[in-house]
Structure 1
Amino acid sequence: MGPTNDPTPKDEPPFEDPGLDEGFLQELTAVLLATSGIDTALSELATAASRITPGAPMAGVTLRLGGRVRTVASSEATALLVDEIQYDNGPAGGPCLEAIDSGRVVQVDDLATESRWGEYSAYLLAHGLRSVYSHPLRAGEQVIGALNMYAPATADSAFGPDARQAIARVAEHTGLLLHAVLQAARHAEITAQLRDALAQRATIEQAVGVLMGQRRCSAEEAFAIMRRAGQTTDRSLGEVAADVITSFTGQRPRPSPFVDPL
């Protein structure tokens, strides 16, 4: 059977598992935001995904960042192992990679009859598994990973309506939290760039003042002198300015204390 695009058919009744109420989602949010490390947080999430899904299938969280795919968390060691089998499966790949590439849910009904992905099915059968359910993880508009569920039973019993809705809820919530984490990382990167830019600007201004005093020239002329020196020696303006200050004071310039304005 091909990839399943709609994990929650409209004619199925809503899932009302108490484990998926707002209290659970708030608890999950608190774990991810309060933990000291995102790896630990995602491990907690994988365990929670297994716990609240009917039948408690094994869970793994795969992320693709910077072109690299890796399993960052799993509810059991076996889930980590079977995730990584498909990474070494060459161009054939596996359901997790297909879910990430396509942005759609990929369901394997029965590994005993599954012919996609080459030898992947045989490897999983050897580990006592019969079905797989991979749900893409979205951070904003970008698919950055997948929540992978592995069960010893076929999909008709392991990934029925209740299980699919549970997985969809967890995957959606995980994506929102990962989006927040990535936004925070980008904010930190922008802050660091701003810090460097302001520190370099302060150094340039100090060097301009030194040259104005030494050469009795205007600020514009001092700036032009440093720019020409940078072009001649293939160095940045900040590096030239630091050399000017060092030659004048005998010490490398120190950046001024930075106050984050964001």
Structure 2
Amino acid sequence: MDWDDLKVFLAVARGESLSRAGRVLKRDAATVGRRVSKLEADLGLSLFTKSPQGYALTDAGLRLLSHAERAEQAVMSGVDELAGQSGQLSGQVRIGATDGVASFILPQVCAAIQRDHPELELQIVALPRVINLSKREADMAITVSPPQTGRITVQKITDYNLHLAASHEYLEQAAPLECLADLRNHPVVGYIQDMISYPELDFLEDLGVEKTALASNLVSVQLGLVKQGGGVGVTHDFILPSAPELKRVLTDELSIRRSFYLVRHEGDARMERFARVGEELLCGIRDEVARLEGMVGR
């Protein structure tokens, strides 16, 4: 069995389909299917159960998966070690994140990292749900809730703050807003309740309201709704410098604090590329959140 066989196996195991694996490998699905069939024939074992829903690992496939992932980490570690002799990082790192940090923090941080390492390719995957590291949707993830299971390493990055905010125009025309009880007289902008992936993002209890008048699964869309005078919404303090049309309200009544965490595959934390990018992300996100929050209220 050669390394190319294992790359094909890993792509199918993670993508759970020949077409998704083919896109990762830049090969057509038929070629990927033939490679899988040949690997199974060479081993004399069925590695996948095929169904209309896709390719699922058999018991034999699950046993091979752990060995294949260790081989992958060994190959990548070797490449990183050689590349690291120049002091420059190279290769691809895919970073998964919720859309708030992906839209308003990571662009500045990742641009700075890439300027220092021109051969590095950084990709930001913004999803309004939990990133699946085991399927390699990303190499590392920025989350608001530390996972409790899996072969992963978790590091707290920093705390961040959220407050209620509304547009200046809305506040000039709306009913008085002097305490949280007054929210019953205002439309509230927030998350779609049955699409909240992290319990830390469910703010309705903090607000003392039962439902939102306008909702989205994306922070960027919620921000747009608040900007357009759609109502009052919970907004990240680090977003406010880029939204001068908004004003924080009831800051003495409600202040929410949450945290960002860096989550990585356990083995990847020992690899030069991922270890160094991870550390630069930690410092960069921490500094950028502090910088932007420090601008609020000026």
TM-score, normalization by structure 1: 0.30
Greater helix proportion: 1
Greater strand proportion: 2
Radius of gyration: which is bigger?
A: 1
Higher relative contact order (CA 8 A, sep 6+): 2
